[in-house]
Structure 1
Amino acid sequence: MTELRGANEGDAPSITRIDAEGLATGHATFREKPHDWSSFEKAYETGRGISLLAMDGGHVAGWAGVSPTSARDVYKGVGEVSIYVSREKQGKGLGRELLLALVSRAEEQGYWTLVAQIFPENKASLSLHEACGFKRLGVRSRLGRMTYGPHAGRWRDVVMMERRSVLIGK
């Protein structure tokens, strides 16, 4: 079992490195630059955000986060998930362990709906989210145009996924 813990500023270099690996594939996000501590903290550590790190042998092997989708009270239980696993740890079950723990933590903190927006080419991420209870809602066609990397200038579709908490209404 991997040790899971919250992030702190000292983890910033590892978070940035793992994030940059994902961005380099061109199939992780529309963001052009990897998170530094300031952007990571703003997205996942402030307000109702959540972050988890997966530690392997004392080193950060992956990270996951939930960021609120809106500041409006009616949506305070809706968040968007992000998950990144280092190249050398992919395909070993770490992502599943990390995402399931994140879902559990999010539900404990009052989230009832989690969404994920994933490029259709990112088959591993789509499979991971489905294995963790996320359902495909549909495809947002030509949602945005890539501004960096191997797909710069190309319009990209995004698969919208959602996981509803079994705790709704309890």
Structure 2
Amino acid sequence: MDLSEITMGEMIIRVPIPDDEAAIAVIDAQGLASGHASFRDQTHDWRSFQKSFMTGRALALIAEDEKGVAAWAGVSVISTRAVYQGVGEVSIYVANDRQGCGTGRRLLEAMIQHSEEAGYWTLIAQIFPENETSLKLHAALGFEVLGTRRKLGKMTYGPMADQWRDVVMMERRSAIVG
């Protein structure tokens, strides 16, 4: 995959650049406001986004359409230990006004391909059970449910503040790497 840019229909998928910081933050904030995207209580700025998804073996892509940045996805390294070098945790955030039109699917498909080309043999996703759309998307692209981590963490913000949250653990094993 040419990491500079690929075209999928009306959408361009590419590596993020610093100019994308504001759009990434807006999309991130929309996800966090739902209460079903992350335990994080702060949106990513460019520095935290880079640290999480663009440093070392981490990966990041964005989907852009005629309106601008529509979604972002990243794979973060789960451990620096050599034995886990091909295992990463995937995150995907789609702008509210682009949900339900295939943006997330196309971006996650591209991220899976990109991760395999980078040597990842296992991707994990940790998703709140209330986020049914994300669970279905991941399942459609080969992620399997490993189980539910009960009361994994207590939310500190938003509509789910002060509630203990379960997280569904999903995994996708590459058929071509590992």
Query: TM (normalized to structure 2)?
Result: 0.93
* Distance in 1, Cα, partners of 2:105 & 2:43: 22
Runs of 4+ in structure 1 over 6 Å off: none
Superposed, 1:10-159 pairs within 5 Å as 10-57=19-66, 59-159=68-168
**One of 168, 172, 175 as aligned partner of 1:163:** 172
* Distance in 1, Cα, partners of 2:58 & 2:48: 12
Give the secondary-structure state (helix, strand or coil) at the position aligned to 1:29: coil
**How big is each residue's C-alpha offset from its partner over 1:46-71, in whole Å with a ceiling of 9 and x where there is no partner?**
00011001001161000000001001
* Distance in 1, Cα, partners of 2:173 & 2:66: 33
- % of aligned pairs identical? 58
- Give the alignment's Cα RMSD to 1 decimal: 0.8
* Residues paired across the two proteins, number: 169
**How big is each residue's C-alpha offset from its partner over 1:126-162, in whole Å with a ceiling of 9 and x where there is no partner?**
0000011100000000000000001111000000000
* Distance in 2, Cα, partners of 1:148 & 1:57: 33
Structure 2's unaligned 5+ residue stretches are: 1-8
Structure 1's unaligned 5+ residue stretches are: none
1:8 aligns to what? 17
* Distance in 2, Cα, partners of 1:32 & 1:140: 20
**How big is each residue's C-alpha offset from its partner over 1:58-103, in whole Å with a ceiling of 9 and x where there is no partner?**
6100000000100111101000000000011000011000001000
* Conserved? CA contact 2:119–2:177, under 8 Å: no
Counterpart amino acid of residue 124 in structure 1: T
Counterpart amino acid of residue 175 in structure 2: V
Query: TM (normalized to structure 1)?
Result: 0.98
